[in-house]
């Protein structure tokens, strides 16, 4: 985890971090499967955002990506959504009946918010929202390849990343999925 930040946007308390989750696997290799090879693969690269006191405190639902290729599936469609996400409560009960059209719409908007973003997890519990987006977007950071002597370039990238987070938080706070309202 890098670049962990806490802040407030239009009265909304939030925290965000750039996260990379990797796993290392040992597997047999070679022509006779008699050698061992270690490889590391990236499972998640993106941002994790948590917003305090943003939704109805009675909401208790977690959406987890089932890692099916989305292609052009419209996740606002209930059947497509169930194909791609598992919904459950804190105690592990299935919660497909709690997935409203507004919640599916929020998922669609989150994925559209950052071009190639993919919603990996969304938890609404105890008034808080926790979101994991697999994306190339980096919050409050600058690309490694940027020349650190280019102060204007650094300022531009950093400001753009803050604007991006503001837009994401606006999208979340404007969602009727968090209050039980309708679009």
Determine which helix (DSSP H) or strand (DSSP E) holds 157, and give its type and residue range: helix 151-173
pLDDT at 1: 54
| 3 state DSSP class of 110 | helix
pLDDT at 181: 47
Torsion angle, alpha carbons of 113, 167, 88, 64, to 10: 40
Tokens of 21: 């989750």
pLDDT at 11: 93
Is the sign of the CA dihedral 49, 172, 160, 45 positive or negative? positive
d(CA 179, CA 65): 23
pLDDT at 2: 62
Going residue by residue through the chain, which has 183 residues, state the pLDDT in tens, using 9 for 90 and above: 567 889 999 999 999 999 999 999 988 887 887 888 888 998 899 999 999 999 999 999 999 998 877 667 788 899 989 999 999 999 999 999 999 999 999 999 998 887 678 999 999 999 999 999 998 888 887 777 788 899 998 899 889 999 999 999 999 999 988 875 444
Cα separations in angstroms, 121 against 45, 50, 86, 106, 158: 13, 12, 10, 12, 26
């Amino acid at each position: 985890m890098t670049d962990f930040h806490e802040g407030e946007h239009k009265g909304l308390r939030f925290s965000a971090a750039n996260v990379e989750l990797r796993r290392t696997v040992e597997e047999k290799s070679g022509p006779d499967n008699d050698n061992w090879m270690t490889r590391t693969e990236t499972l998640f690269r993106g941002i994790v955002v948590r917003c305090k006191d943003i939704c109805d405190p009675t909401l208790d639902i977690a959406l987890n990506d089932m890692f099916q290729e989305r292609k052009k599936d419209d996740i606002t469609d209930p059947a497509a959504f169930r194909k791609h996400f598992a919904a459950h409560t804190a105690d592990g009960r299935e919660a497909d009946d709690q997935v409203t059209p507004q919640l599916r719409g929020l998922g669609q908007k989150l994925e559209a918010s950052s071009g190639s973003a993919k919603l990996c997890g969304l938890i609404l519990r105890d008034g808080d929202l926790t979101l994991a987006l697999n994306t190339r977007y980096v919050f409050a950071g600058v690309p490694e390849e940027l020349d650190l002597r280019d102060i204007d370039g650094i300022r531009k990238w950093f400001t753009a990343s803050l604007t991006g987070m503001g837009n994401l938080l606006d999208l979340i706070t404007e969602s009727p999925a968090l209050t039980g309202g309708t679009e």
